Amino acid sequence: MKAFGAFIRKEYYHIIRDPRSLLILIGMPIVQVILFGFAITNEIVDAKISILDKSKDAVTQEISNKILSTKYFLLSEYLEDSKQIAQSFKKGEIKLALVFEDGFAEKLHKNENPSIQIITDATDPNTAATLSNYISRILVDYQGQIALNSFTPGGIKVVTRMEYNPQLKGVYLFVPGTIVIILMLISAMMTSISIAREKEKGTMEILLVSPLKPFMIIVGKVIPYIFLSLTNAITILLLGVFVFGLPIRGNYFLLFFEITLFIITSLSLGIFISTKVKTQQEALLISLMGLMLPTIILSGFIYPLESMPKLLQYASDVIPAKWFLIMIRNIMIKGVDIRYILNETLILLGMTVLLMMLSIKSFKIRLE
Amino acid sequence: MKHKYIVQVSKLTKKFGSFTAVDKISFNVSKGEIFGFLGANGAGKTTAIKMLIGLSKPTSGDAIVAGFDVVKEPEKVKYKIGYMSQKFSLYDDLKVFENIRMYAGIYGIPKKEINSKIDNLIQELGMEAMRNNLVGDLPLGWKQKLAFAVAMVHNPTVVFLDEPTSGVDPITRRQFWEMIYKASEKGTTIFITTHYLDEAEYCTRASIMVDGVIKALDTPKNLKENFGVKSMKEVFVKLARG
């Protein structure tokens, strides 16, 4: 045990004597949360629109006003001619154009279903879809109002409630996602690099000749990173709660437990990578390309898994981050208890055990 | 001790697939000997050493090191041996005394002894002024001397040195050999591989390995007489050419 203490102390020196890496390790999570929290948001505000109102009556006026009074839209200009629409799109002045047909109010009163054309700039498909959704919602809302006022029978009133995140805040998505990325980065990438460094420099040989058991060498290399990862996870959570008003509705211990589990999964991944590579560069490359990229794309952090081709959906099942992300979102935002995320927990646990066994096996082979 | 020799090797063999890197080598090394293990690159020296220190499993044959079988009791062997590899074996981002403390620590030397051990070692090496320097900032010669001292920190019965003097200037090489002699006088057995054949002259006995087989093994004096040449270099060239 004393021997183990001496080894851990050495690891501690490695980390604090490399201020640049340390700064990245501590600073990056903070910068990332703030960047993701403030800069990347799904909500679109102040999108410029043009309106071509061929009817110019009280109803179209009312609808226009209603749309422009929201925080989502700003009027660029009223157009007079449909030819102008293409022009203003090309100039990049507007994201969306509204066209009211002739005799709008009249048709409405006669129950003839007048139409509004929504034209969007779909060079950015997400924005286009979101904006046209906003407009549709406002129109449905307006229809509900007039139906109520005129007591016309029929007509369906749609009441939408955005459960768990009524304000549709992006941070609800990004804070858990950032935790996943950071933990993956520190736990998997840093450990694989740190073990690869000992191999590359030749010090691993000396350690293996010493009475220190191979298993202990690995545990010793990993322990400092467990602490670093936990510190970072807590920092990100605190930032999320106090800066962005993210709730933690579930049990703290459960959250802590799942975070620790995921850290151990990532560490096993890092160890596994390190048994397969010879140099730090290889370790870095494999961690980045083989871990970070699939994690970002296939975990459901940014892109919804449901909209991916079936093949990619199956591929995402082997990404540990996917399961962790489901759990952490459920615990924090929905406040569920262990019963609801038992499957995910077991899957992650199984992955961890498997990876551990694989790395122990390949570590031994290397010694032969 | 039940074994007469410190290193006792019989028919030790290592095969990688169909390639035989080490082919049934046998030799014994006595206590306090400086045993030179020579051979061209790829002759199988490093593979042989790796089997003796427990980094590689022999395909067949036996090796007893410091009284223990390297295959059956590798953990016991580990406490008795020191090792300095071709690659530099200290941590650049640790200070001189921290490197010593760390290696002393992993060999289980009690805390109380460690501090006096550090002081003694640093004094012997004449590195008092560099005690708190990072090892990465030291000149190569100092690093190698420190690495040797660290390999000896737990008073091993036998120390394996794999090309410890490559890339070091002649003066430092000289000092290095003085350290080796001192250790040998104290009863430590030295097992050394080297590229510098003038160094082979300093060994008590030297073996020359060619293609996985030990072609010659004797004192430098006898080797030179047998081959009728004046230096170890000529002995080596004669053997290596077949």
Q: What's A52's domain CATH number?
A: 3.40.1710.10
Q: Given an 8 Å threshold on Cβ–Cβ distance, is B105 in contact with A2?
A: yes
pLDDT greater at residue B56 or residue B86: B56
**pLDDT at residue B219, as a whole number:** 95
Q: Is A51 among the domain residues? A: yes
* Count of the separate structural domains present in chain A: 2
Q: Given an 8 Å threshold on Cβ–Cβ distance, is A205 in contact with B55?
A: yes
Task: Establish how many alpha carbons lie within 13 A of residue A362's alpha carbon, considering only the half-sphere containing its beta carbon.
Answer: 14
Give B33→chain A minimum CA distance, Å: 22
Q: Is the pLDDT of residue B15 over 90?
A: yes
**pLDDT at residue A140, as a whole number:** 84
Give A6→chain B minimum CA distance, Å: 5
Highest mean pLDDT among A135-139, A159-163, B23-27: B23-27
Q: Is A39 among the domain residues? A: no
CA distance B27 to B216: 11
Exposure of A161 by Cβ count < 10 A (0-12 exposed, 13-18 middle, 19+ buried)?
A: exposed
Q: Is the pLDDT of residue B123 over 70?
A: yes
What angle is formed at CA B92 by the lines to CA B86 and CA B94, rounded to 5 degrees? 130
- B159 by DSSP, 3-state: which? strand
Task: Name which of B53, B81, B91 is nearest A10 (Cβ-Cβ).
Answer: B91
- Taking the Cβ of residue B136 and every Cβ of chain A, the question of whether any pair is shorter than 8 Å is answered with no
pLDDT greater at residue B68 or residue A160: B68
Q: Given an 8 Å threshold on Cβ–Cβ distance, is B54 in contact with A2?
A: no
Strands B158-162 and B189-193: parallel
Residue A1 pLDDT class (50, 70, 90 cuts): low
- Taking the Cβ of residue B203 and every Cβ of chain A, the question of whether any pair is shorter than 8 Å is answered with no
- Taking the Cβ of residue B73 and every Cβ of chain A, the question of whether any pair is shorter than 8 Å is answered with no
Same domain flag for A218 and A337: yes
- Taking the Cβ of residue B149 and every Cβ of chain A, the question of whether any pair is shorter than 8 Å is answered with no
Q: List the single range of A138-147, B143-152, B183-192, B225-234 with lowest mean pLDDT.
A: A138-147
pLDDT of A285-330, one tens digit each? 999 888 888 898 898 887 788 888 999 999 999 999 999 999 999 9
Residue of A nearest to B110 (CA): A2
pLDDT of B126-146, one tens digit each? 999 999 999 999 998 899 899
Q: Given an 8 Å threshold on Cβ–Cβ distance, is B105 in contact with A368?
A: no
Give B76→chain A minimum CA distance, Å: 8
What Rg value do the Cα atoms of chain B yield, rounded?
Answer: 18
Q: Is the pLDDT of residue B2 over 70?
A: no
Indicate the pTM of the whole model: 0.80
Q: Given an 8 Å threshold on Cβ–Cβ distance, is A10 in contact with B94?
A: yes
pLDDT of A155-207, one tens digit each? 566 677 778 877 667 778 788 888 898 888 888 998 999 999 998 988 988 99
Task: Name which of B53, B88, B101 is nearest A209 (Cβ-Cβ).
Answer: B53
Same domain flag for A156 and A188: no
Same domain flag for A155 and A178: no
% of chain A exceeding 90 in pLDDT:
38
What is the CB neighbour count within 10 angstroms for residue B2? 5
Selected residue of B76, B91, B118, B153 to mutate for chain A interface (largest A Cβ count, 10 A): B91
Q: Given an 8 Å threshold on Cβ–Cβ distance, is A13 in contact with B104?
A: no
pLDDT of A6-54, one tens digit each? 999 999 999 999 888 888 888 888 888 888 777 766 678 888 999 999 8
Q: Is A13 among the domain residues? A: no
CA distance A81 to A350: 64
Same domain flag for A152 and A196: no
Same domain flag for A325 and A215: yes
CB neighbours of A141 closer than 8 A, spacing ≥ 6? none
Residue of A nearest to B76 (CA): A211
Average pLDDT over residues A128-151: 81
A209: chain B residues, CB-CB within 8 Å? 53-55, 78, 81, 83
- The residue from A147, A163, A179 where one domain ends is A163
Phi, psi of B215 (to 5 degrees): -90, -30
Exposure of B123 by Cβ count < 10 A (0-12 exposed, 13-18 middle, 19+ buried)?
A: exposed
Residue of B nearest to A217 (CA): B106
Q: Is the pLDDT of residue A368 over 60?
A: no
Q: What is the dihedral of CA A337, A341, A345, A346, to 10 degrees?
A: 120
**pLDDT at residue A130, as a whole number:** 87
Instruction: Residue A340: give the domain boundaries.
Output: 170-362
Give A277→chain B minimum CA distance, Å: 18
Same domain flag for A185 and A212: yes
Same domain flag for A82 and A122: yes
Q: Given an 8 Å threshold on Cβ–Cβ distance, is B90 in contact with A205?
A: no
Average pLDDT over residues A249-258: 94
- Taking the Cβ of residue B90 and every Cβ of chain A, the question of whether any pair is shorter than 8 Å is answered with yes
Q: Is A318 among the domain residues? A: yes
Architecture of domain B7-240: 3-Layer(aba) Sandwich (3.40)
Same domain flag for A125 and A185: no
